[in-house]
Amino acid sequence: MPRKRKRTAAKLAEREDRKAEGDTGAKGGEAVSSGASKEMVGTAVTETRAEATTMGGGDVDEDVRPMKKAKTKSELEKERRALEARAEREKAKREGGDDDDWVASFARAANSRSKRSERKERLREKWNEKKRQRSEAELAYLAELREQRAERKARRREAKAKIKYVDSKASTLSLIDSVLGKTTSDLKARKREAAERERWKAADEKRRKEARERKKLLKDSINTVLVSEAKSRKRAKKGGRR
């Protein structure tokens, strides 16, 4: 249906509603309140014309409209429903119920905030536990490193003391033992260790000497080979010139 016909149909329906309610209007199609009658409308129009004539000093336009427009049945029904819904909401609010939307939304927001705070607390506890475990592992590792370092230092000290002790002379050992009142068995043991150290030194010196001799023989043999090759090349050159 075209738009113009729709508007015309709407106007006709509105006019029928007014007739059914018993409303009357002045020229221009405007409605008057449902309680007014034709006589009251005529009286109001006459008074308005008289006031306009006395104030303006002339005739008034025929198209005189009332100040307020009457409401239709649908509008009145809509207002009645809105008032009833408002009364129900106020009643529920006074009774402390959770029927209102703002109460439900507030409860949902509080619930979501509590859930977020609980989740953050769980994550914080988990992170603190990880940090604690990591710190414990680091402390254990550092303690183990300190123990290993202390053991290595103790072994080095013992080795140095043993070497220094074994390298000392037998006369010095006997003098120290006599001063400190050591027993004969300890003195014999120390002498045996000193003799063993001397044998180690002699064997080591022998190995080094043999190595030096082998190195010298190898070097001499290499030099001999190089010299013989050079002489042969020189003789070959002389033979070629002839």
Question: Phi and psi dihedrals of 57, rounded to 5?
Answer: 75, 35
The Cα–Cα gap between 217 and 118 comes to 86
Is the residue at 226 inside a domain?
no
Place of tokens 């604690």: 132
* Whole-Å CA distances, 188 to 141, 168, 191, 197: 45, 14, 5, 14
Give the lowest-confidence range in 46-50, 127-131, 183-187: 46-50
pTM over 0.85: no
The beta strand positions in 10-135, using DSSP E, are none
Torsion of CA 142, 143, 148, 152, to 10 degrees: 100
Contact 173, 190 (CB under 8 A): yes
Q: How many CB atoms lie within 10 A of CB 194?
A: 18
Sequence letter at residue 214: R
The number of distinct structural domains making up the chain is 2
Containing structural domain, residue 10: 1-68
The Cα–Cα gap between 190 and 198 comes to 12
- Give me the pLDDT at residue 145, please: 87
Is the residue at 57 inside a domain?
yes
Condensed to tens digits (0 to 9), the pLDDT of residues 6-47 reads 567 777 778 878 877 765 444 444 444 444 444 444 454 455
Residue finishing a domain among 68, 83, 110: 68
Mean residue pLDDT of the chain comes to 72
Contact 34, 21 (CB under 8 A): yes
- Give me the pLDDT at residue 65, please: 53
Is the residue at 13 inside a domain?
yes
Residue finishing a domain among 68, 96, 111: 68
Is the residue at 188 inside a domain?
yes
pLDDT of residue 53 exceeding 50:
no
Is the residue at 25 inside a domain?
yes
- Give me the pLDDT at residue 100, please: 52
pLDDT of residue 228 exceeding 50:
yes
pLDDT: is 154 or 183 the higher one? Answer: 154
Contact 191, 173 (CB under 8 A): yes
- Give me the pLDDT at residue 236, please: 85
Confidence of residue 90 (pLDDT cuts 50, 70, 90): confident
Contact 68, 35 (CB under 8 A): no
Crossing angle of helices 184-241/170-180, nearest 10°? 160
Is the residue at 130 inside a domain?
no
Which residues neighbour 31 within 8 Å (Cβ) at sequence distance 6 or greater?
A: 18, 23, 25, 66, 69, 70
The Cα–Cα gap between 173 and 183 comes to 12
Question: Phi and psi dihedrals of 31, rounded to 5?
Answer: -95, 155
Is the residue at 45 inside a domain?
yes
pLDDT of residue 220 exceeding 80:
yes
Residue finishing a domain among 68, 84, 106: 68
Is the residue at 8 inside a domain?
yes
3-state secondary structure of 218: helix
Question: Phi and psi dihedrals of 215, rounded to 5?
Answer: -65, -40
